[in-house]
Structure 1
Amino acid sequence: MNNADLAPARTRGRPRGRPPTRESIVLAARALFLERGYRRTTLRAVAGAAGVDAALIAYHFGSKKGLFADVMQFQCANALAVDDVLGGDPASLPDRLIEAVTGLWEDADFRQLTVRGDEAAEVIREYLEHELLARLVEFIGGRDATARATAVVTILGGLIYTRYLNPLPSLAALTPSEARRVLVPALRAALAPRPRTTATTRTGR
């Protein structure tokens, strides 16, 4: 038996050393989507940039659309880091929520990715519903937590849609600081505990 027989088999498409991860593929794809745009970026090119076999990308993400969705999720998770947003003084939570959303959407790279409007809107909707909403409900707690969190996410989703995805001229014309000033009071109201209502009956007398 020679030394070659003792050498471990090399996995096809994987670089030596640390095996590739989903994150490394997403980062390679993000760079190519920004450089070439969605249409001109191929899975083969992403595979080459990440140093993996294209079949591995198909296995993890299913399609280019699925890979793009993960890239968008990665961007959202970095900018709208829920732990960071929910941390700190609860009184300033509305400010942090608006700053996170406007900071993400004012970023030139992220805006470039969102030219794929339908896919971008779908990813943002899923992130708001499955990540931010669930964590807000847990953070707020209490009997009306779901209603309050839903009101917050509705305001943020409206901001994203009417300022960035399908802009209303009046809202799009505002600076980020002006948009925050307009919407923070609405978020404060949405986060405020709902007063208990007591049912009253009329006797008719």
Structure 2
Amino acid sequence: MNNVAATAARSRGRPRGHPPTRASIVSAARALFLERGYRRTTLRAVAGAAGVDAALIAYHFGSKKGLFAQVMQVHCAEALAVDDVLGGDPATLPDRLVDAVTALWEDADFRQLTAQGDEAAEVIREYLESELLARLVEFLGGRDATARATAVVTILGGLIYTRYLNPLPTPAALTPSAIRGALAPALRAALAPRARTTAATSGRSAFG
């Protein structure tokens, strides 16, 4: 294969000029998902908006579902900013957790993306499990870190479900600051280290 043919083979499916980036594809996809919804957005349309070959989207994301998942993941990561939430004063961590979740879900664009059906719900579940829960476990440390982090994510998941996904009248009517006031004490209790209770400290055997 001569040099011209080799160059053509390497560049097939890729646009001329600046090399495409995942970020530009995700940005174009996000705009189309917001405008048209999940079902009416095609990979061909995303490719045209991003100025790339549709095969390149398949290469990076596998499918439209994979691309949508990445759009949602990026939006969650930008809005929740887990590093910022965990990096502040530990005493106000419960407040920051509630504020981060409500700020994300009060965002009109994010709410529109979450209305895309099962695909959105699946991404949200994966994000809470793989990003927030895992990061909280690492942040808390210690033998009971997983239990404490699970309790926190369960409380926040309940907030998401009862206020946004399947709203109940009372939680839906509260302001974000009122939600913070209601849930911060529960989150503070969930984040607190568990006291270790043993037979030695209780003065009784495990069987009474």
Instruction: Please report the TM-score for the alignment, with normalisation by the length of structure 1.
Output: 0.90
- 1:161 matched to 2:161? The reply is yes
Q: Aligned partners of 1:44 and 1:68: how far apart in 2?
A: 14
* Deviation digits for residues 50-106 of structure 1 (CA, Å, limit 9, x no counterpart): 111111112222221221111111111111121111111111111111111100000
Equivalent position SS for 1:142: coil
* Deviation digits for residues 10-63 of structure 1 (CA, Å, limit 9, x no counterpart): 723433343112221111100111112222211100000111111111222222
- 1:151 matched to 2:151? The reply is yes
**What is the correspondence of 1:30-179 to structure 2 with a 5 Å cutoff?**
30-179=30-179
Q: Aligned partners of 2:4 and 2:71: how far apart in 1?
A: 41
Provide the residue aligned with 2:204 in structure 1.
201
Specify the code of the residue in structure 2 equivalent to 1:15: P
- Where in structure 1 are there 5+ consecutive unaligned residues? none
Question: Does the CA contact (< 8 Å) of 2:37 and 2:116 recur in 1?
Answer: no
- 1:28 matched to 2:19? The reply is no
* Deviation digits for residues 119-175 of structure 1 (CA, Å, limit 9, x no counterpart): 221111111111111111111111111111110011111111111111111111111
Question: Does the CA contact (< 8 Å) of 2:152 and 2:191 recur in 1?
Answer: yes
Q: Aligned partners of 1:117 and 1:40: how far apart in 2?
A: 13
Equivalent position SS for 2:142: coil
Specify the code of the residue in structure 1 equivalent to 2:193: P
- Where in structure 2 are there 5+ consecutive unaligned residues? none
Percent of aligned positions with the same letter in both sequences? 84
Q: Aligned partners of 1:60 and 1:29: how far apart in 2?
A: 13
